[in-house]
A and B are shown apart, each in its own frame.
Chain A
């Protein structure tokens, strides 16, 4: 009997106008989307290659022996995500640090696979299920069905399976067209992990779509009329998809306030100034003592222009090369001068320790990040009430197009920059050794520089992060089915 109900529900749906509209819309949007985004992906790849070429050209021709500038030039470039042809990266993110930017993605978020699943498919799911109980009651067929020897559980289960199967046809067909396009397009090279991610994305999408089907079914079991049922369904849809996820970050920002970054920077500058002042005071005292103890010898050391009091902290680094050399030569010739220089260096280290102690005691940055983490966590947890937010986390993090991928890129970037820093240190030191007259703006050959290669995060790491959100989606499914079951058990079919 269950089979008959499934077949009836399935046939009933696929012969309906909404199925045809859904199918046409899904296919058209998916094909248009994938073709346009694939072209976009190619353009972004070209842009990425152009960026690498410009960077190489600049480094090959204009690299200088100044660490700061060299690090700036070695800044790694992020390649476009491999899922770029299905899911567009975070809208407006590109505009963040620049004065000139493309304003359109901020006003009109781009269309992609996420849109198809979260808007079209969720709406379609509710349209498929809003009248499956109330509508049948109104037309009288539900009474006829129940009058046979069939349990209500089977009717509900059959409706769920038959309805979901018919609903998933447009989605699976659209996805297959997409897969076909990806597999025949020579410009797109996906490895096995990318295909595995696509399979998982499909599974997560199905969980999300059935969730909305069950929500519609649940609302239907609590409504007497399909007109009321659809209104309630749309009300919930608007809340869950369009309102809750967008409002949560703003509400959390009101509850858990973060001091603005600029304010934090200002407080940090104050602490920095204070630490320098403290160290300077310490050094002033030391200088007085040294003058008293060593007299003319210290005046000679001072005249070697190791810089002002402040630059004594970076003894031997900030000082001009020739002066440093002169001081060392003098120290080698005179043991007393050497002892004084070493003692003075010891004092500088002590001043540096004092400076670092004050800076380390600075709670501002830690406090800011702790508050930011708490605010983001609160917003994220609040948004979890909406299946939309959960699905967005799962889909974006699984395909490397979300916030986590940005974090991951920052991590790899940080590692590369550390490598680049030690490379540039060594390179500049070696060049100085070979040519002591080397100036900061002299050309430096960096053809042997380390290259940045971005590798996507492994599937295991991604899965670990998305499973809790996926779990919530499954839980929503269970809760809605249980509620629909409870509602249907007590449903008056007359």
Chain B
């Protein structure tokens, strides 16, 4: 019986106007998004190649990841050329971003955005009238008048409905991925493929959350127009309101100075050091030693400042995550960007690597007496997080949130449907 229900659900969806419009919309959007972001990746690679060639003067840079085509996240900021300074780390050219200011105003239309915002809406539109719509047309009463158990009906509806919704998504993503990987400019290794697979898997779980939620709302209402209105408002709250409100709400609990203030504090430390340097008479026999001590103290002070700022940012992210824990959208955003190596965890890892590299250089030039001061510093090497790292860095907890919400909404729909008045 379950098979028949699934088949009926898939067929009725395939023939509906809703299916055509949502399939056309999602396919066009996914393909356009991948094409557009592919172009953006090529531009980023061009820029990286030029910066790489010029990074001889102690500036460092990591290449953009091809996975940024699917989830750009913070990749633009991660791939800027930077330079170690005595106090802090500086971006070597302030003008590495595009001159087109319009990029600042609007969001990057990557696959992550399409899934997070548009496909989640489509998932709800697929599910909002699954139960109450059938009640209105009277088919639900007829179905249940047979020896059909309600748990089988709702499970069949879920499987059939979700399959018909997710199939076009798979086809579009597959087409886009084939196009991208056929390009000679995109070099993806086994790790990248695993990450892309995980990203698609987490997207499916995320979309299932919204599908289950739509089903739950449909089971709680008796008219499809009411279900639609509630679904749209719940979607607005979960996708826009909670994540974006959570971000500004978290700032109420964790005080973060602006980056400009941080920069001014660094400059103040450097200027103070210059003045103190002048106070040490050059004729003193321990001049060099005292100079080094002063420089080391200044570096330490600057590092303390940076560490304090980074700790605050980490706390802010944690608080924001706790506030937005109720919504699947932030959990998915953080999970997807972390998987693709363009998220907060990657950014934190890069900063730690830079700090370690800086500590190493300080040890080399200021503490280790045997090293020649004129010698070139060692190269900076950075490897983006592996799948194992991602899962241990918080990826698991975010996936658990999504799975939990799925179970919660489906159980809710199940319970509501058991008590649903089909008349």
B247 engages A110 (CB within 8 Å) = yes
B51 on the A face (CB < 8 A): yes
Which of B97, B243, B261, B337 interacts with A47 by CB under 8 Å? B261
A-B CB contacts (within 8 Å), total count: 264
A242 on the B face (CB < 8 A): yes
B258 on the A face (CB < 8 A): yes
Most buried by B among A44, A73, A106, A263: A106
Most buried by B among A73, A107, A110: A107
The distance in angstroms between the C-alpha atoms of A426 and B240, with both chains bound, is: 54
B274 engages A441 (CB within 8 Å) = yes
Given A25-B233, A262-B51, A379-B100: A106 in contact with B74 (beta carbons within 8 A): yes
The distance in angstroms between the C-alpha atoms of A127 and B228, with both chains bound, is: 9
A228 on the B face (CB < 8 A): yes
B224-242 Cβ-contact flags toward A at 8 Å (1 or 0): 1110111011001100110
A214 on the B face (CB < 8 A): no
Which of B224, B247, B259, B347 interacts with A227 by CB under 8 Å? B224
Given A73-B271, A101-B77, A250-B36: A21 in contact with B229 (beta carbons within 8 A): yes
Which of A17, A100, A235, A249 interacts with B226 by CB under 8 Å? A17
Q: DSSP class of A's interface residues: helix, strand, loop or mixed?
A: helix
A98 engages B98 (CB within 8 Å) = no
The bracket for how many chain B residues form the interface is: 35 or more
Residues from 29 to 69 in A contacting B, C-beta threshold 8 Å = 29, 32-33, 36-37, 39-40, 43-44, 47, 50-51, 54-55, 57-58, 61-62, 64, 69
Residues from 358 to 396 in B contacting A, C-beta threshold 8 Å = none
The distance in angstroms between the C-alpha atoms of A99 and B104, with both chains bound, is: 18
The distance in angstroms between the C-alpha atoms of A227 and B128, with both chains bound, is: 12
Q: Which residues of A contact B316 (CB under 8 A)?
A: 102, 104
A413-453 Cβ-contact flags toward B at 8 Å (1 or 0): 00000000000000000000000000001010000000000
CB distance from A283 to the nearest CB of B (A): 28
Which of B77, B91, B125 interacts with A234 by CB under 8 Å? B125
B114-151 Cβ-contact flags toward A at 8 Å (1 or 0): 00011001000100010000000000000000000000
A188 on the B face (CB < 8 A): no
Q: Which residues of B contact A123 (CB under 8 A)?
A: 232, 236
CB distance from A457 to the nearest CB of B (A): 17
A369 engages B265 (CB within 8 Å) = no
Given A108-B243, A238-B118: A40 in contact with B248 (beta carbons within 8 A): yes
Q: Which residues of A contact B96 (CB under 8 A)?
A: 261-262
Residues from 228 to 253 in A contacting B, C-beta threshold 8 Å = 228, 230-232, 234-235, 238, 242-243, 245-253
Q: Which 10 A-B pairs have the closest CB atoms?
A: A372-B99, A62-B271, A111-B244, A98-B259, A246-B109, A99-B89, A250-B36, A108-B247, A249-B102, A261-B95
Besides A107-B73, A392-B105, A402-B105, 14 new A-B residue pairs in contact (Cβ under 8 A), listed by A number? A37-B248, A62-B272, A94-B259, A96-B94, A96-B97, A97-B94, A99-B89, A107-B74, A108-B247, A248-B102, A258-B98, A258-B100, A261-B97, A441-B274
**18 A–B contacts, CB within 8 A, in A order:** A25-B236, A50-B257, A50-B261, A90-B105, A91-B104, A100-B351, A103-B77, A103-B313, A227-B224, A243-B32, A243-B109, A246-B113, A250-B36, A260-B47, A265-B95, A266-B54, A376-B99, A376-B101
By a beta-carbon cutoff of 8 Å, the part of chain A in contact with chain B is 17-18, 21, 25, 29, 32-33, 36-37, 39-40, 43-44, 47, 50-51, 54-55, 57-58, 61-62, 64, 69, 72-73, 77, 88, 90-111, 115, 119-120, 123, 127, 131, 226-228, 230-232, 234-235, 238, 242-243, 245-254, 257-258, 260-263, 265-266, 368-369, 372, 375-376, 379-380, 383, 389, 392, 396, 402-403, 406, 441, 443
